[in-house]
Structure 1
Amino acid sequence: MSSSFMTPIRRYFRNANRWLTQTPERALDQAYDAALMIKAIEDQHFNGEKISRHAGRHTENVLAYFETELRKYLKIAEVRLTEFKASRFVVDSTNSTLYNRSMTLTPGDREKADIILEKLQFIDAVLERYKPEVSRSKALVPVAQVQNPNVSARANANAYSAQRSQQVYAGDLSEEDDNSVLDKTGVLPRSILGTLNRIKRDLDPNSEQEVVQTFRNSKAKTLISMRLILLLIIVPLLTQQFSRTFVIGPIVDRIWEPEKQGIFINFELEEEALKEFNSFKERLEFDKMLGRAPDIANESAAGMEKLLQEKAQEIAASYSRTSAGAVKNVFADLFALIAFAIVLITNRRDVEILKNFIDETVYGLSDSAKAFIIILFTDMFVGFHSPHGWEVLLEGMARHLGLPASRDFIFLFIATFPVILDTIFKYWIFRYLNRISPSAVATYKNMNET
């Protein structure tokens, strides 16, 4: 019996180990294929030069198609290279074909190592051509330069899209954009400086183009930020549900046996089951005294015992599924966390844009709106009624992961974490908000005192 139970587990771990061992080579091959596709497009349509609108004579729609393909293959190559590096770090170093301290590689291993090095060199050579140019400008989004006012708006839009697709983060910044939102302090009040800058821009003959560029910057930032926010929400959720339903669920259902692993994953579930069983038993006895119990219970004590046994089996099956579900949640949440980290790592530039977008949105609110949001968050997370919310949240999280809800830990968390949050809020208000918007701080104090 034990042998038959361990056989699928050994087979699963053997297949998982084989898949993990082959992951570096598989990821490198996929990155190499993506680089080959980029090189093929360059050779066939751009005379071996870099894919750009300056390297060949193509229409706007054809260029847009090639730029879409370029973005796709660049993303595949970057992701697979990251997977190659991470998997090689995880795989045992004794299986490495690139380097071995004992220098006992076979001729086949040396040939394989040479092939891996050639592929890496080719991939680096292709990706190097499309790395963004280093610029002193701090612009986070591209700016389409309008050279000819007679050019159609669609051509200008396509030119802007091409610059965005190549991830060229360049452009001239105005004096207002050159500094961070947190650094806008000086000798003169900001309102006077803002008025002078506005008059200066109005008198500038190129102000119309600057307004268009600023609008395009803002639009691009908003689109990129919304896309990243949706990715950070949707990708982990889909990963959690998909892995729980199609990967982890079948494995746990196959190997989970209540007779061996136990029905209850923690003592709290066992106490809940006992309370439910005792409640059913007391209700059944009460109905029997009133003559409303089922006929099988009224006939004899054996009938009563049969009903109680059936109820106990039903409760055991229900809580066994709950325990197995908690195990599934742990691994599914781990997969979701990995997916969240991968989205952040593969979109580092977009994360910077999102941070800039949040700063501009928060600091661009009116004074009353800032005060309202601060009071809402502080009362919700560190206010008088917040301990009840933290208690419900921690108990729900513990139940989701199948952990016993320790009252001592919950009370210790409530006694320390909200205090830390309150200190952070106060420091942010004193250190940053008080410098940028003193009127918002005054509004916040007035609203908080009323």
Structure 2
Amino acid sequence: MKISVLSQKVYNFLLAAYRWYLLTAERSLDQAYKAALQIKAIEDEYFDGNKIDVNSSKYTSSMMDYFESDLKKQLRIARMRLTEFKGSRFFLSESNQKAAIKAGIEYANPATILEKLRFIDQVIAKYTNFDYETTSSDLVTQPKPEIIPLDSAIAPDIAPAPLSAKLSSKGWDKKPRGKANSTGILPRSILSTVTRLQVELDPRSEEDVVKNFRQAQRRTIISVRFFLLLIIVPILTHQLSKTLVVGPIVDSFRSSEQTGIFINYEMEEEALEALEKFEERTKFDILIGRLTPLPPEEMENHVKEKAREIAEESRAESSSAIKNVFADLCSVVAVIWLMLVSKPSIAVIKDFFDNIVYGLSDSAKAFIIILFTDIFVGFHSPHGWEVILEGVSRHWGLPGNHSFIFLFIATFPVILDTIFKYWIFRYLNRISPSAVATYRNMNE
């Protein structure tokens, strides 16, 4: 009797699961349709039935952030559910449809399905190039306000594109010209004066300035947020995986007293050296009268106790090194995942760095270049690289291979130095020749 009741429950559960599987396509389409309706409701209520413009100056920055986040959410739901709908329809065979009829499942009318699909496509087609995470496509493709460097006297033939074309509504849709490729006949100062007057007389300049400021603000917020995530995510992943996942597994394997205490010879040498120093210090304290003389048996027990303490510390250090290896792998996976899901943010950060680096003065550029080159490829850099490599080896419980360390120091800084020099010659020399001249003068 009990077996029959249990079999009936299992049958009912499997039947419910099969019905849920057969209705996956229709359920996904309904969810995508609801998301499209949400987007359409925002358009009708706040944007007069037009496309949601995240750069609109009609509402405040907080309101636009709210609209943008809601739009991202609904677009993500609609696109994911449409993909699920297509996949479910692909695996739905004729036999499945017959089984659905036997199970009492009635599918929606094909005309209703086509009408929903047409409505969803009409809504989300307006946002084909809209990124899930940010509006980085707009931020990256839009040209930055031209910063006139101080080296116009050295390279007067390099003239920027007209500033009015960059600030006008049409100019923002065009691909910006590179600084090194924009050439002209007249000097920069004359062209910059003319373009500045054009911008000041343009009645739309105020609206463009507000739009540019909001885009710059959004770009800065995205960059700062991504940098914080890039620091917090790997550290948090390392600590959580080491404490909750990797730690208990390693401790269970190394809980036995028969497991090795040391995982490399350097740790063993350090432990023996610490024990010898303790024994010699104890004898020295006895000789100078700090400690009372101990019998040989008590002295031996005292040294044994210290040896056990050192062994426990070495065992914990070995276990921690093994945990660090797997926790670091989890952190690397977390960083890779963060990079994959944040591709739009990475593009925004590149544009953010371009604004910062190329907006610095020539002396600041030269100072930063000299600082980085002296730290990583300078005369004293081998000592720093040696400390870093020894720290990494100790972190992972690896023995310090001095041959590898010396080979790394002999090759890697040279490669970095070559990359620095190539970047200075290939890019910086064309964009800011006076910065290169300042860098050479400061080096000499």
TM over 0.5: yes
* Shift in CA distance, 323/74, structure 1 to aligned 2, threshold 3 Å: farther
* Shift in CA distance, 230/78, structure 1 to aligned 2, threshold 3 Å: farther
User: Deviation digits for residues 374-409 of structure 1, max 9, x if unmatched?
Assistant: 111111111111111111111111111111111111
* Shift in CA distance, 128/408, structure 1 to aligned 2, threshold 3 Å: farther
For residue 309 of structure 2, the aligned residue among 299, 314, 324 is: 314
* Shift in CA distance, 409/192, structure 1 to aligned 2, threshold 3 Å: farther
Larger RCO: 1 or 2 (CA < 8 Å, sep 6+): 2
Question: 1:41 and 1:76 mapped to 2: Cα distance?
Answer: 7
Question: 2:412 and 2:78 mapped to 1: Cα distance?
Answer: 42
* Shift in CA distance, 334/75, structure 1 to aligned 2, threshold 3 Å: farther
SS at match of 1:279: helix
User: Deviation digits for residues 142-185 of structure 1, max 9, x if unmatched?
Assistant: 99xxxxxxxxxxxxxxxxxxxxxxxxxxx743599712455445
SS at match of 1:140: helix
Q: Is residue 225–residue 354 contact of structure 1 (8 Å, CA) maintained in 2?
A: yes
* Shift in CA distance, 433/34, structure 1 to aligned 2, threshold 3 Å: farther
Query: Corresponding residue for 1:222?
Result: 220
For residue 34 of structure 2, the aligned residue among 17, 40, 58 is: 40
Query: Corresponding residue for 1:265?
Result: 263
What amino acid sits opposite 1:283 in the alignment?
A: R
Q: Is residue 42–residue 49 contact of structure 1 (8 Å, CA) maintained in 2?
A: no
* Shift in CA distance, 374/142, structure 1 to aligned 2, threshold 3 Å: closer
Shift in Å, 1:200:
3.2
Greater Rg over alpha carbons, structure? 2
Unmatched 5+ stretches in structure 2: 1-23, 53-58, 85-89, 100-116, 143-168
Shift in Å, 1:282:
1.2
Within 5 Å, which residues of 2 pair with 1:169-184? 172-174=170-172, 178-181=176-179, 183-184=181-182
* Shift in CA distance, 185/428, structure 1 to aligned 2, threshold 3 Å: farther
What amino acid sits opposite 1:341 in the alignment?
A: I
SS at match of 2:139: coil
SS at match of 2:235: helix
Question: 2:75 and 2:259 mapped to 1: Cα distance?
Answer: 47
Q: Is residue 39–residue 74 contact of structure 2 (8 Å, CA) maintained in 1?
A: no
Query: Corresponding residue for 2:20?
Result: none
* Shift in CA distance, 388/142, structure 1 to aligned 2, threshold 3 Å: closer
Q: Is residue 79–residue 346 contact of structure 1 (8 Å, CA) maintained in 2?
A: no
* 1:231 maps to 2:232: no
Question: 2:411 and 2:207 mapped to 1: Cα distance?
Answer: 53
Question: 1:41 and 1:79 mapped to 2: Cα distance?
Answer: 11
Shift in Å, 1:355:
0.2
Query: Corresponding residue for 2:426?
Result: 431
SS at match of 2:312: helix
What amino acid sits opposite 1:133 in the alignment?
A: N
User: Deviation digits for residues 7-61 of structure 1, max 9, x if unmatched?
Assistant: xxxxxxxxxxxxxxxxxxxxxxx9x9998655434457857999984559x9x89
Question: 2:63 and 2:193 mapped to 1: Cα distance?
Answer: 46
SS at match of 2:177: coil
For residue 403 of structure 2, the aligned residue among 385, 403, 408 is: 408
* Shift in CA distance, 280/232, structure 1 to aligned 2, threshold 3 Å: same
What amino acid sits opposite 1:281 in the alignment?
A: E
Q: Is residue 266–residue 403 contact of structure 1 (8 Å, CA) maintained in 2?
A: yes
For residue 375 of structure 2, the aligned residue among 373, 376, 380 is: 380
* 1:330 maps to 2:325: yes
* Shift in CA distance, 359/392, structure 1 to aligned 2, threshold 3 Å: same
Unmatched 5+ stretches in structure 1: 1-29, 85-97, 100-106, 112-121, 144-170
Within 5 Å, which residues of 2 pair with 1:382-401? 382-401=377-396
What amino acid sits opposite 1:312 in the alignment?
A: A
Question: 1:34 and 1:277 mapped to 2: Cα distance?
Answer: 68
Query: Corresponding residue for 1:140?
Result: 139
What amino acid sits opposite 1:246 in the alignment?
A: L
Q: Is residue 138–residue 178 contact of structure 1 (8 Å, CA) maintained in 2?
A: no
* Shift in CA distance, 405/256, structure 1 to aligned 2, threshold 3 Å: same
SS at match of 1:268: helix
Question: 2:385 and 2:324 mapped to 1: Cα distance?
Answer: 21
Query: Corresponding residue for 2:278?
Result: 280
* Shift in CA distance, 287/354, structure 1 to aligned 2, threshold 3 Å: same
Q: TM-score, normalised by structure 1?
A: 0.67
* Shift in CA distance, 350/172, structure 1 to aligned 2, threshold 3 Å: farther
Q: TM-score, normalised by structure 2?
A: 0.68
For residue 194 of structure 1, the aligned residue among 192, 195, 202 is: 192
Question: 2:238 and 2:27 mapped to 1: Cα distance?
Answer: 30
Shift in Å, 1:307:
0.9
User: Deviation digits for residues 181-229 of structure 1, max 9, x if unmatched?
Assistant: 5544556554454344333323433222222222222222111111111
Q: Is residue 375–residue 444 contact of structure 1 (8 Å, CA) maintained in 2?
A: yes
Question: 1:132 and 1:263 mapped to 2: Cα distance?
Answer: 59
Question: 2:178 and 2:392 mapped to 1: Cα distance?
Answer: 38
* Shift in CA distance, 394/203, structure 1 to aligned 2, threshold 3 Å: same
Q: Is residue 51–residue 67 contact of structure 1 (8 Å, CA) maintained in 2?
A: no
User: Deviation digits for residues 39-97 of structure 1, max 9, x if unmatched?
Assistant: 434457857999984559x9x89997675445346568989999x9xxxxxxxxxxxxx
Question: 2:418 and 2:75 mapped to 1: Cα distance?
Answer: 44
Query: Corresponding residue for 1:154?
Result: none
SS at match of 2:171: coil
Q: Is residue 244–residue 328 contact of structure 1 (8 Å, CA) maintained in 2?
A: yes
Query: Corresponding residue for 1:244?
Result: 242
Question: 2:332 and 2:425 mapped to 1: Cα distance?
Answer: 34
What amino acid sits opposite 2:234 in the alignment?
A: P
Shift in Å, 1:263:
0.8
Range that drifts further, 234-243 or 46-55: 46-55
Question: 2:378 and 2:216 mapped to 1: Cα distance?
Answer: 36
What amino acid sits opposite 1:40 in the alignment?
A: K
Q: Is residue 221–residue 357 contact of structure 1 (8 Å, CA) maintained in 2?
A: yes
